[in-house]
Structure 1
Amino acid sequence: MSVLPFTHLHLHTEYSLLDGANKLSNLVTQVKKLGMTSVAMTDHGNMFGAIDFYKLMKDAGIKPIIGIEGYIHNGENIDDKSTKQRFHICLFAKNQKGYENLMYLSSKAFIDGFYYFPRINKKELREHSEGLICSSACLQGEINWHLNTANERNIKNGALGYEGAKAAALEYKEIFGDDFYLELMRHGIGDQLFIDDQILKLSKELDIKIIATNDTHYTFPNDAQYHEAFMCIGMNKLYDDPNRMRHSVHEFYLKSPDQMARLFADIPEALENTQEIVDKCNLELKLGDPVPPNFKFTKEYAKNEGLDIDNEDDAPLGDDATKEQKRAWKSAADKNDADYFVYRCELGLEQRLKHVPQEKHQQYRDRLNFEMDVINSMKFPGYMLIVWDFVKVAKEMGIAVGPGRGSAAGSLVAYSLEITDIDPMKYDLLFERFLNPERVSMPDIDMDFMQARRGEVIDYVVKKYGRNQVAQIITFGSLLAKGVIRDVARVLDMPLSQADKMAKLVPDELGITLNGKTKNGDFIPGAFQKEPKLQEFIESDANAARVWEFAKKLEGLKRNSGIHAAGVVISNEELWKKTPIYKPSGEETFVTQYSLNYLEDVDLIKFDFLGLKTLDVIDNAIKLIKLRYNKEIKWHEIDENDPKVYDVIRSGNTVGMFQIESSGMQDLNKRLKPDSFEDLIAVLALYRPGPMESGMLESFIERKHGREKIEYTFDTMQPILENTYGVIVYQEQVMQIVQTVGGFSLGYSDIIRRAMGKKKDMSTYNDEFAKGAQKQGFDYNEASKLFDLIEKFAGYGFNKSHSAAYAMVTFQTAWLKTYYPNEFMAALLTSDKDNTDKVVRYIDETKRMGIELSPPDICDSQLEFSAITKDGKEIVLFGLGAIKGVGQSAVLSILETRKEGGDFTSIEDFVNRIEPSKVNKRVIESIIKAGGFDRFGFSRKALLDQVEKIVDTAKDASMARKNAVGSLFSDDSEITTVELKLINSQEYELKEILEFEKETLGFYVSGHPLDEYREKIEELEYTLSSEIESVKDGSYAIFIGKVEEITKKTSKKGNQFGIVNIMDFHGNIEVMLFSDKLEELNQMNLNEPIAFKTKITHTDMFTRISVSKIMTLKDAKKETKKTKKEVREIPLEPINLSIKLDTDMKVIEDLYRIVRQNPGNRELKITIISKLQNVIIDSAIRVDSKILTALDGNEFVDILAS
């Protein structure tokens, strides 16, 4: 007997976060294997995976049915929070209209209906039911809930039995007609057995068809236990906890048509009806070919600009608009964009040409016309105008904007629109590197804004284009190798130390899997194959073996959602017509339910809003300069080849300068001796392992200083390479050589350059290039050799547009440090005030520069660090806001009082003017300890001894002012002033003053407890606490400091040990000493500095410091001569990638392949999103710079910095 066809219509994929364990890759394989030709997805309350699911199934020849298992309540309003009611309901899209309604309902559930869960109500369902099929869902569905009176909780909460179910069923039938179905599930659950016959009765009585479903949460029968553990991760419960929520049966897997046929042998029509739904669902999505949104014109905007436009913002894009109306609106909008785009570009260029020699003006205009033609032909003027607008507004709001980033800096259009501030003509930057007319791709302009105010720019975009038209982008965190071990170990109750040990045994490799994987027929080893100690650990420990087994099964499943670090999408119409919207609980932010990988599929393009802290530093320094000197800094008027600036850079004193402050960069600048902006661009491009390992960097230095001959294969290459002394440093140079010698267009040259990085069709391109060169009059063989040379260096070539844009930021920081060092250092300290290591470093640099660092002053200090001249001394002053225990409201109150009445003349004047409800006892005590009142001549001890008197006087003065309000004497200072008489006393010892400063400011300012030993300590070769991470793994380091605290402990085995806190010039470190070393330490004079010889071991989680020797300073002098300080070989300019964890494993596998093909010495950093926070993973992986070329154009991986 033939088995009836069957389709699973109730199925939860991995996008039912921490519940659905159906990995899409496994699901598609198993569906095909079981002979099914269609399948539905009904994830809990969301459509996160709809496009991923649709594309995978389509590619496999399986009919995808997009659905959702939503939550519904019976309240009149969707946002009714009077009940937690959330009945389950399954909805399926029959067609495009149904799909749009599904997206709308899912969006509304998050935006307006969220109450513990994303909910809709019957009113919304009724109004948006067109094109949808509905089924009654599981035991939590409204009909089944009423029927299940065997469950006492249901009765308690109002379940009405058969009649209640009948009323609900009639209501759904009234909404959906014949597109409403009753689900029948047979998992063997008692409650399901109880209502089985009643569902059949309802079906017959109300003429509603039944469908057979299986509540599928995982793919294979033996996945049940792993799925339970998966849920425990989400519930934060132990797997073996007898009281946790658990399934009573294990039937929630992907059953075969044969199994379902046997389960429903008594009602075969239930199986047939699943196919009826399949036949009704014929959704065909048009994916890809995205079109950027249009710039939004308003009547007021058009009037102000003097524009005659064809339409304003009242676009007829509502549901009642016809296709013709929408088409007409779009046509008019495109025309508006094109016309206004040309107008703004030409206007902007004329402003820029004021700073360009007259004889070059026509070249600029020709280049602009070429770029505008390309952008218009690609339909991107709206995109450019949108970016122009929010950049312009950001600048008008006083928000610092970066001069450019990435390949957009090569566009004269972007420069004319003031999107970028680097002249591409001046620095030979190429438009084709940004938009290639011969290679269709979306524009990608990443904009840097000052970190502190980036959110304001996004807020403006939301306000301009509408809340429903703008959203940030969702990401998904997955259970990857190390993380899944830790999660599983937690729910299986493995001791934390064991779990930590097991996770650390997984090699630090990008894309590493636990047990290897097969790709294209080749097996790629995983952690188990690569790390013998991991094998040994698993095989020798039963608990570890259990964790390992569960972890392997759950690896790769999606764990949580987050928000993309920078991406925002903008739409002409409500976003839910393209992507459903997600709204994180407790947030006001709208987020796309579809992740970045699928946004272009649904006609959405990403705009990037990035925060760059250096812009905050520059902005703050400029404000301090304005405050102190009333001088405006105009960067376009400043010579970027200023010799004084390059003198400072060449000296290596580059602490605080953007991208060149590391010790490696300091050394490079001393050797290379840059003396121009072109050199500075090259410095940023060359300080990477690729150029360093290949000899490019050394050749550049030697040629620059005339110690190595500069040669060109062909003379025509000289104009291209002369700024880099004949060395191919940039990708743009590769393109120009291919163009000039091979006779190709720049667009095609870029295609060849990209192919070089990926080693594709090189012999074909080589021959094509050599033949093209021959036509230009060059020798074929020489050209072929040149191509091989270009190919070799193309992988190391850097994007000059990006390097030039960031070199401008570097130059600005260098210029500020050169001409306004006080303000620059104050701005730096403010920017990193919460980073102790950096602040200590900047304090040292401030002092090295001969600038005095002073504690806060009640009259001179601002909120943050500031710069002043006092008694002929240059001073950087702590801000009042830096004092711990003094809140911002208190500081602002003090500053406002000072602004209104001038500086405080005495303590008495201070207490008579401040508001004691804001400036209370705790605030005053903290200011005293920090030295804020030192100017008034009283010792800090005297003020602290009499603080009660000071506070009481402030209260009395406040009361006197209030009592005088409205009286004849309100302006009489004699009436409203309360006298304060204080007795001075001898000051605390310096040690106590320093401790007060450390307590209130976090740092020693007036001195350091080790100052009396500084001269002796500086004679020794030692390592500071702030330098631990730079010490080479496995090498020895000597730390010198005072023992501040010893905490004695006892191990589980009864052994004594101690945790010793050591304070040095840069901070504190902790070391662990066992009993013998602890006893040795106790015999020493702890009032003096102690030297500790240690071995440093770096792991993926922490740095281990093992003490091998404890010495006095005298003994340390001999030991330091024997102990060579070894620096950890970490390039200080890592490659930073943003990995979109919301993608499938194929993308991770591709990235892993690229990483394996590009081993090197450059650190790889990965930014992921977890629990709505950006998390930077500092990996132990080292790659070659050629990986940048290999990743160029990869839509799933963002290169954040390199």
Structure 2
Amino acid sequence: MFVNLHTNSYYNFLNSALSPKKLVNLAINDQQKAVAITDPNLFGAVEFFITCKQNNIKPIIGLNLTVEYQKNDVKLLLIAKSNKGFQTLNKIALIQQKLEINSLVDQLTDIAVIICSLTTWKSTYKDVYQAKGIEINQTPIAILANAVNCEKTNSDQVVLTVLKQMKQNQTGKITTFDWDLKQKLNQISINENLKVKSEIQPFLDQKTAQQLFSETELNNLNDLVNRCELDLEHLKAASLSLTDNDAAVLESLCQTNLKQFLDKNQDLNKKAYQLRLEKELNVINKLNFASYFLVVNDLVNYAFKKDILIGSGRGSAVGSLVAFLLNITKIDPVQHQLIFERFISTHRQDLPDIDIDIMENKRAEMINYLFEKYGKENCAQIVTFQRFKTRSAVKEVAKLFNDYGISDMILGVLPKDQTITFTDLKATEDSALQLCLQQFGLIVELALAIVDFPRQSSIHASGIVIASNSLIKTIPLLQLDNNHFLTQVSMEWLSFFNLNKFDLLGLINLTMISDVITQIKPSNQTVNQFLNTISWTDQNTFINLVNEDTLGIFQLESFGMKKLLVQIKPKTINQLAIVLALYRPGAQDNINLFINRLHNGYDQSDIDPRILPIVKNTYGVLIFQEQIINIVKVVANYSLEEADSFRRAISKKDVKLIQKNKRNFFERAVQNNFDLKTTTKIFSYIERFANYGFNLSHALGYALLSYWTAWLKTNYPVYFYLWLLNHFQSSKDKQKLIIRTLEKSGIEIYPPLLNKAQPNSVIENKKIYLGLNLIKGINDRYIQNLQKVQHLIQTQNNLQLTDVVSWCLDKTIGDIPLKDLLLLKTMGCFDFFEYTYDFNDAKDFWIKSDHLLFTRMPLEKKDSNFWIKQFFTN
């Protein structure tokens, strides 16, 4: 039985055309019992292992390594013979610089080493292994050599050979097309133009292997493969535990906080909250998730202690009362009838997933806190991969053909669907597309073939994993420049190891809210305390939104959003959530229907009275996933957990799965006294909307965040716009829009006066004084020098304009060139003298400054057109 042992996947970036799944399929199609992945990293190892196990193929995991020996490079394959061997590979993969072979030998626990040259092997063995007193029968070495003879030396040592013409059978290709594609990827990686096609090196099948290798050679190969036994399930991380009894600690925290909440809200149904809490805790403890909530609670408490602003809640976690009581979210799920089962369910084995929005400029601090608290070896950020999209794939492949301009034409006729295949394209009747394929079919075929191929690794924007012990014992890692670890396993495969994932998303809007509140809050209040005093029903805030005053408002700035706000005229957070949910692909198709029913009413008799309460607030239009769950519960008497599983199944568009769930739904609906006609109508109703139903929990969380920003803008507009001015200094278009909006708002704007101007814009007496940073052409060095001049202005008695001008031009103080000084004059930087002056004789300005024509004129605010012209055209 032959096994391809030296195989690269496409995680050896731009050096293979084979995904882990394709590697496994090759082995299946040729009835090979095992297959290997031997990339120079372990990015694909776990995906490969899981895919092998799912298909009853034995996984062999190795590492393609180049080490240094006597100042020469030696190419090795390191093959893990066991879980300990896999852990050894993890440790070696963590070391990103080239190793010297002496230092490598001591680390090789349960590793088979394949040296890819017989000559190299002889010298390396003699100088390294024998020098260390290591006998051959003690050394876990297997040699892959370009020699014909082959011998099995003893039970612990296998010497493998392959024929020279097979070039070590290094795969990463299978067919003529795949090998051709691999060559294209190589050329993309080094930015080369297209070369002549190389010799085809196929993934070796068993029939060919039987012809090329002797029985002894194949037996030796099988002997090595048989010695490799990986079972990564045994490396799964132990459950994270913070205390001796996390469940009891969590319950105590929640009960204490619930009592405080109910004491402040005496009109609420205490029994309903208590029953909801007991239900949630029962599920959380049954799934052993208590520690997860305690970690998030501790992180939130740290944020409150440091007055770092946390978001109002994101995703289905907003539907949890436990999360609400731990201050992880801000929306009361009982009052808003949110569904906990949408978040966590005993019907799913998914680990909980709480996404936490935090201030963008504090994310690094929060991550550092986690790494320090739980141990740097126990924490890691998560890798992600930048993959080829259709656009980038077409452009790169066209470049190989020296055809830079044709890519735009091809992209103009290609469908936007990222999953479309070349076969699909050939079957279409679009004449323009067919003409394109006739002329540029090879470019299109190659480009579509590499869509979704990974191009390089990156750091996930939010993900962090935390384990109870060292992560290197479980998964491969890389070390970042800040000494934090990065997983070599991407997000979708981490759950296999039972690792707790936490998402910290930096949000600039939270930074803005915090910065603005810091300017306006009483000194004895924190930012978080002030935010808790904001009314959620301020009608002036909603009026401003309806008036399209949404510049700087979270998720509401676009033209479409403004139009929808005018049409719906929201007056509550719930109605604002509907706006956010409707303005999305798919759901947008129902905007006109919703608006019409909102203003003109609709025939409620067309809706079964038993489900009418569920859709009444959205005028009979299904908008939220929670509505679907509740309808299924009412009609078919499903539990909430069953109903959510049903919704997930319907939304996947899997015909077989839909039919299976449909039969069960109809049977249970009939048993629940719904006739066939009504049931058919309701199922069709659900099926139509299930594909794009939005999560109400998420919509409410983000509606509140939108409202917070709108409230600050309505009640403290000067501070709100000041933050926008300083934040968007690099965007001319945004600056123009802000300045025009300031004028409409009646807020006074003044120039960056040299006697008080700061690098950023500032507020004084509810007026905005623009910052020096906004002046085009004035760099940081000039600003520092102007601040020296400013110091002299503030300390000089009997100040004269000529003094200021001299200081600006003096090379030891201001060192401002004359042209830039004129720019400062135009910007009004000298207007603190309350004079205007004639700068016509600019060339001799500094000499003739005593003879300048001064005309007394009070300092005046300028209109927006003046500032836009001065700031953006000089």
2:174 is aligned to 220
Residue in structure 2 matched with residue 681 of structure 1 by the alignment: 577
Instruction: Say whether the 8 Å CA contact 1:946–1:982 is kept in structure 2.
Output: no
Change (3 A) 1:36 1:349: same
Contact 1:931 1:940 survives alignment (8 Å): no
User: Does the 8 Å CA contact 1:566/1:608 hold for their aligned counterparts?
Assistant: yes
Q: How do residues 1158-1169 of structure 1 correspond to structure 2 at under 5 angstroms?
A: none
Aligned position for 2:419: 511
Q: Which amino acid in 2 is paired with 1:13?
A: S
Contact kept? 2:67, 2:73, Cα under 8 Å: yes
Paired residue for 1:170?
Answer: 130
Counterpart amino acid of 1:282? Answer: E
Q: Would the alpha carbon gap of residues 528 and 475 (structure 1) be closer, same or farther in structure 2, given more than 3 Å must change? A: farther
- Counterpart Cα distance in 2 of 1:900 and 1:340: 62
Output one character per residue of 1:103-141: Cα deviation in whole Å (capped at 9) or x when no partner.
12212x13xxx2xx5x47533541x322222221x24xx
Q: Which amino acid aligns with 1:237?
A: E
Q: In 1, distance between residues paired with 2:142 and 2:73? A: 18
Taking a change above 3 Å as real, the CA distance of residues 833 and 693 of structure 1, as seen in their structure-2 partners, is: same
> Do residues 880 (structure 1) and 772 (structure 2) align?
yes
Which has the higher mean CA deviation after the structures are superposed, 606-615 or 593-602? 606-615
Q: Deviations over 1:12-62 (max 9, x none)?
A: 222222223344444334334444322222112x11111222233333333
**Deviation per CA, 1:260-303, whole angstroms, max 9, x where unpaired?**
455455xx5333211110111121232898776334xxxxxxxx
Residue 379 of structure 2 corresponds to 470
Distance 1:692 1:478 in 2: 29
Residue in structure 1 matched with residue 491 of structure 2 by the alignment: 596
Q: Does residue 983 in structure 1 map to residue 850 in structure 2?
A: yes
Query: How many equivalent residue pairs?
Result: 853
Corresponding position of 1:16: 12
The letter for the 1-side match of 2:356 is M
Q: Would the alpha carbon gap of residues 645 and 90 (structure 1) be closer, same or farther in structure 2, given more than 3 Å must change?
A: same
Give the match for residue 858 of structure 2: none
Contact 1:10–1:40 at 8 Å: present in 2 too?
yes
Quick one: which amino acid aligns to residue 170 of structure 1?
Q
Q: Does 2:227 correspond to 1:280?
A: yes
Q: Percent identity?
A: 29
Partner of 1:498: 406
Question: 8 Å contact 1:388–1:419 — kept in the other structure?
Answer: yes
Query: How has the CA–CA distance of structure 1 residues 789 and 548 changed in structure 2, closer, same or farther, with 3 Å as cutoff?
Result: closer
Q: Note the 1:151-550 alignment, pairs <5 A.
A: 166-168=126-128, 170=130, 174=134, 177-186=137-146, 196=147, 209-213=158-162, 214-220=168-174, 222=176, 224-240=179-195, 250=199, 252-260=201-209, 262-265=211-214, 269-286=216-233, 293-295=240-242, 332=244, 335=245, 337-353=246-262, 355-492=264-401, 494-513=402-421, 515-516=422-423, 525-526=424-425, 529=428, 532-533=431-432, 535-537=434-436, 539-540=438-439, 544=440, 547=443
1:848 is aligned to 744
| CA shift for structure 1 position 836 | 3.0
Judged with a 3 Å threshold, the aligned counterparts in structure 2 of structure 1 residues 785 and 342 are, in CA distance, closer, same or farther, namely same
| Separation in 1, partners of 2:717, 2:290 | 42
Post-superposition Cα deviations, 1:904-950, rounded to whole Å, max 9, x if no partner, equal 98575899999998965379857556433432346687699699979
- Equivalent position amino acid for 2:867 in 1: S
Q: Is the 8 A contact 1:27 1:219 kept in 2?
A: no
Q: Which residue of 1 aligns with 2:535?
A: 639
Q: Does the 8 Å contact 1:489/1:499 carry over to 2?
A: yes
- Matched with 1:932 is 829
| Cross-structure match for 1:581 | 477
What is the CA–CA distance in structure 2 between the aligned matches of 1:341 and 1:259, rounded to whole Å? 62
What TM-score does the superposition give when structure 1 sets the normalisation length? 0.63
The residue matched to 1:1006 in structure 2 has which SS?
Answer: helix
How far apart in 2 are the matches of 1:940 and 1:589? Answer: 59
Q: Pick from 651, 676, 699: which aligns with 2:547?
A: 651
**Mean Cα deviation higher: 380-389 or 167-176:** 167-176
Q: Secondary structure at the match of 2:672?
A: helix
C-alpha distance in 2 between matches for 1:65 and 1:915: 73
> Which residue identity is paired with 1:420?
T
Partner of 1:92: 79
> Which amino acid in the other structure matches residue 629 of structure 2?
M
Asked if the contact 1:341/1:381 (under 8 Å) is kept, the reply is yes
Structure 2 SS opposite 1:983 = helix
The secondary structure found in structure 2 opposite 1:61 is coil
SS across alignment from 2:472:
helix
1:362 Cα deviation from its structure 2 partner: 4.2
Distance 1:800 1:179 in 2: 61
- RMSD of aligned alpha carbons: 4.5
Using the size of structure 2 for normalisation, the TM-score is 0.85
Residue identity in the other structure for 2:14: L
Is structure 2 residue 114 aligned with structure 1 residue 135? Answer: yes
Once the two structures are TM-superposed, the CA of residue 66 in structure 1 deviates from its matched residue by 1.0
The runs of 5 or more residues in structure 1 that have no matched partner are: 76-82, 148-161, 187-195, 296-308, 310-331, 517-524, 951-980, 989-993, 998-1002, 1010-1064, 1069-1202
C-alpha distance after superposition, 1:491-549 (max 9, x if no partner): 34x13223443454433222233x22xxxxxxxx0378565445435545xxx566457
In the alignment, the residues of structure 2 paired with residue 449 and residue 388 of structure 1 have an alpha-carbon distance, to the nearest angstrom, of 14
Whether the aligned pair in 2 keeps the contact of 1:144 and 1:165 (CA below 8 Å) is: no
Does 2:8 align with 1:61? Answer: no
Note if contact 1:13-1:41 (Cα within 8 Å) is conserved in structure 2: yes
Residue equivalent to 2:643: 749
Q: Matched residues in 1 for 2:352 and 2:792: separation?
A: 51
Matches within 5 A, 1:1134-1173: none
Residues in 2 aligned to 1:602 and 1:363: alpha-carbon distance in whole angstroms: 37
Q: Which residue type is aligned with residue 763 of structure 1?
A: K
Q: Is the 8 A contact 1:507 1:527 kept in 2?
A: no
Q: Assess if the C-alpha contact under 8 Å between 2:381 and 2:485 holds in 1.
A: yes
> Residue 405 of structure 2: SS of its match in structure 1?
helix
Structure 2 counterpart SS, 1:733:
helix
SS at match of 2:646: helix
Q: Does the 8 A contact of 1:446 with 1:607 survive in 2?
A: yes
Query: 1:389–1:125: structure 2 CA closer, same or farther, 3 Å change rule?
Result: farther
Structure 1 position 767 matched with structure 2 position 666:
yes
Which letter does structure 1 place at the counterpart of 2:240?
Answer: P
Q: CA deviation at 1:164?
A: 5.8
Alignment match, 2:34: 38
1:135 partner amino acid: I
Are 1:941 and 1:986, in contact at CA under 8 Å, matched by a contact in 2?
yes
Matches within 5 A, 1:1006-1045: 1006=867, 1008=869
Q: Whole-Å Cα distance in 1 between the matches of residues 701 and 795 of structure 2? A: 43
The letter of the residue matching 1:881 is N
Aligned pair in 2 of structure 1 residues 770, 533: CA closer, same or farther (>3 Å)? closer
- In structure 1, distance between residues paired with 2:840 and 2:370: 52
**Does the Cα contact within 8 Å between 2:14 and 2:188 map onto a contact in 1?**
yes
- Does structure 1 retain, via aligned residues, the 8 Å contact 2:789–2:807? no
Residue identity matched to 2:314: R
